[in-house]
Amino acid sequence: MKEPIRKLDSKRSAGAAKPLRHVVAALILRAGAAAVAKGSEPAGEKAGSAPDEVLICQRRADQPMGLKWEFPGGKIELGETPEQALARELNEELGIHATVGDRIATLRHTYRNGGAIEIQFFRVREFAGELDNRIFQTMQWSPLTRLPDFDFLAADLSLIRDLAAGKLL
């Protein structure tokens, strides 16, 4: 004998919403190739100058949202400030010791699967050490104006438009 199909309890389903994930990301900035050729510092943004390029990273194919582009960073762990979390993540992902600067933007995004994320983006003008790609498919410097040419994570898209338009930096 077939058993009847049970209906889901709508109250129970509504209460099972995924928690908001708190994440930080770095806008690691530097002067572009033309400025570097003139002698500006390649490892960061020269004080008082507008940045030309930002470091972007591509997720590996075997990760969730594989091969999408993003800014380096990650989850804020219990007891960490956003700045501490970002410094830790940049060391883990890129092997650098970053000086985390001012917060540029905070965005919230809800994905189709119901997961929600709050991302705080911070400027990084200086770091010590050589960039070492420890977890990404690839990473590269991109002119701010070319960011819309890359397939970024959905949560980053409004920031990408504003950076490319020169509205935030």
Q: How do residues 80-104 score in pLDDT, each as one tens digit?
A: 999 999 999 999 999 999 999 999 9
What pLDDT, on a 0 to 100 scale, did the predictor assign at position 18?
81
pLDDT average, residue stretch 100-123: 95
- Contact indicator for 158, 167 with CB cutoff of 8 Å: no
For residue range 16-66, what is the model confidence (pLDDT) as tens digits?
A: 668 899 999 999 999 976 544 444 344 554 444 567 999 999 999 999 999
**Euclidean distance between CA atoms 154 and 50, whole angstroms:** 26
Where do the DSSP E strands lie in the chain?
20-30, 53-58, 69-70, 73-75, 97-110, 116-128, 138-143
